[in-house]
Amino acid sequence: MSFNLQGILRRDLNVIVPYEAPRVGEGIIKLDANENPFEFPENIIKEIWERLKHTFTRYPDPMSTELIEALSEHTGVPKEGIMAGNGSDELILNILLVFGNGGHVIIPTPTFSMYRIHSLIAGAKPVEVPRGSKFEVDISAVAEVCKSYQARVVIICSPNNPTANTTPVEDIKRLLEQSEALIVVDEAYIEFGGESCLKLLNKYPNLVVLRTFSKAFGLAGLRVGYLLGNPEVVKEIHRVKQPFNLNTFSQLAARTALSNNSEFKSLVGQILSMRDKLIEEMSLIKNVTVFPSEANFILFRTQLKGKEVFESLLKKGVLIRNVYAPGIEDCLRVTVGRENENRFFLDSLKAVLKGDG
């Protein structure tokens, strides 16, 4: 007998293109992934190493107990309503495995592409609802689609990636009241702008809020995310959680980062100042349209094709993100970097648009 790979594959996964992030070499300014541009604070690294004992030979705490206790203090949410994960991606997939499988998942687009991909992996059926001309979520349209499809889950990113705008809490509240679905609000960039939905958790059991340590806290390389929700909802999600999903070192680093929250708030303040300055200077460049931002990145387009600008900037040593998709055709997204990185990006963009590509 011969092995027939095609005979045992899930055919519904054929539409998924494997995620690939570009690897860049020395000398490339990396402004493509919405990471914190600053080096991780040396004093906090030292504190982490001082607390690191007997980490490598034993399995991590499967429930991330100490981290969840710290998160409870940080957010005011009871421990039973918190779950930590190996980045928000794992938590999104777990939510969809429990609540989305076999049903419909509503996704206002354009937005983070992984919502659709995780829906397909979980055996759910993603339904995209276009955002408005200013990338706002049409709550009435989403509620109507929820009703017609008997949707199980709605995922809203706020501030939204890649458009950088927020969805008002009052709009989220209306949707919670008009839908029987689980409403997942991804607040990965909430430290940079917008109002959190946390205050709605006590009243609405169908709300789940996602957060991450990858952006404001600068721990993208350690993959730590967490969700906040009704304890009964969180209990169900635990059914599909991997036993040791978050390694010991990541748990320790996240706890240490939380205990030094004021230092990261200071860094966020610097990023916001640089973001506003970058928006101002980009807006002065001829034929550049800059969209408002409440995140640590900026969406923009030029008179040229997005792919052309992306490739020309990469040749000059600047990596940004080409986010071409319906509603944001030929748009590009640049992460706010350090001042010298932002200056190099601006100079390179000006040169590209003048034909010096």
Q: What is the DSSP string of 37-99?
A: -SPPPHHHHHHHHHH--S-SSS---TT-HHHHHHHHHHH---GGGEEEESHHHHHHHHHHHHH
Instruction: List the one residue out of 97, 162, 169, 173 whose CA is nearest residue 296.
Output: 162
- In the chain the domains, ranked by start, together with CATH numbers, are 5-40+262-353 (3.90.1150.10), 53-260 (3.40.640.10)
Indicate the pLDDT class of residue 31, thresholds 50, 70 and 90.
very high
Which letter does DSSP use for residue 321 in this model? E
Q: Is the pLDDT of residue 102 over 70?
A: yes
Give the whole-angstrom CA distance, residue 275 versus residue 262. Answer: 20
Q: Is the pLDDT of residue 24 over 90?
A: no
Indicate the pLDDT class of residue 356, thresholds 50, 70 and 90.
confident
Give the whole-angstrom CA distance, residue 286 versus residue 349. Answer: 11
Indicate the pLDDT class of residue 167, thresholds 50, 70 and 90.
very high
Q: Is the pLDDT of residue 206 over 80?
A: yes
Q: What is the mean pLDDT of residues 197-206?
A: 97
C-alpha dihedral sign at 285, 286, 288, 289: positive
Indicate the pLDDT class of residue 357, thresholds 50, 70 and 90.
low
Q: What is the mean pLDDT of residues 184-198?
A: 97
Q: Is the pLDDT of residue 27 over 90?
A: no
Q: What is the pLDDT of residues 122-165, one digit of tens each?
A: 999 999 999 999 999 999 999 999 999 999 999 999 999 999 99
Q: What is the pLDDT of residue 52?
A: 83
Indicate the pLDDT class of residue 54, thresholds 50, 70 and 90.
low
Q: What is the mean pLDDT of residues 173-201?
A: 97
Q: What is the pLDDT of residue 50?
A: 86
Q: What is the mean pLDDT of residues 332-354?
A: 97
Maximum distance among all Cα pairs of the chain, rounded to whole angstroms: 67
Tokens of 36: 């914190």
Q: In Å, how far are 128, 146, 153, 210 from 142, measured between CA atoms?
A: 9, 6, 11, 20
Q: What is the pLDDT of residue 352?
A: 97
Q: Which of 48-52, 291-295, 351-355 has the lowest mean pLDDT?
A: 48-52
Give the whole-angstrom CA distance, residue 113 versus residue 66. Answer: 32
Q: Is the pLDDT of residue 57 over 90?
A: no
pLDDT > 90 fraction of the chain, expressed in percent and rounded: 89
Q: What is the pLDDT of residues 59-77, one digit of tens each?
A: 999 999 999 999 999 999 9
Tokens of 295: 């995140």
Instruction: List the one residue out of 220, 219, 200 whose CA is nearest residue 208.
Output: 200
Q: What is the pLDDT of residues 227-243, one digit of tens each?
A: 999 999 999 999 999 99
Alpha helices in 150-201 (DSSP H): 169-178
Q: Are 145 and 156 in contact (CB under 8 A)?
A: no
Q: What is the pLDDT of residues 257-298, one digit of tens each?
A: 999 999 999 999 999 999 999 999 999 999 999 999 999 999
Cis amide leading into 162 (omega within 30)? yes
pLDDT > 70 fraction of the chain, expressed in percent and rounded: 99
Q: Are 35 and 220 in contact (CB under 8 A)?
A: yes
Determine if the pTM surpasses 0.75.
yes
Q: What is the mean pLDDT of residues 95-111?
A: 98
Q: What is the pLDDT of residues 283-339, one digit of tens each?
A: 999 999 999 999 999 999 999 999 999 999 999 999 999 999 999 999 999 999 999
Q: Is the pLDDT of residue 25 over 80?
A: no
Cis amide leading into 130 (omega within 30)? no
Looking only at the bridges linking them, the beta strands covering 318-319 and 297-302 are unpaired
Establish how many alpha carbons lie within 13 A of residue 325's alpha carbon, considering only the half-sphere containing its beta carbon.
Answer: 19
Looking only at the bridges linking them, the beta strands covering 297-302 and 332-335 are antiparallel
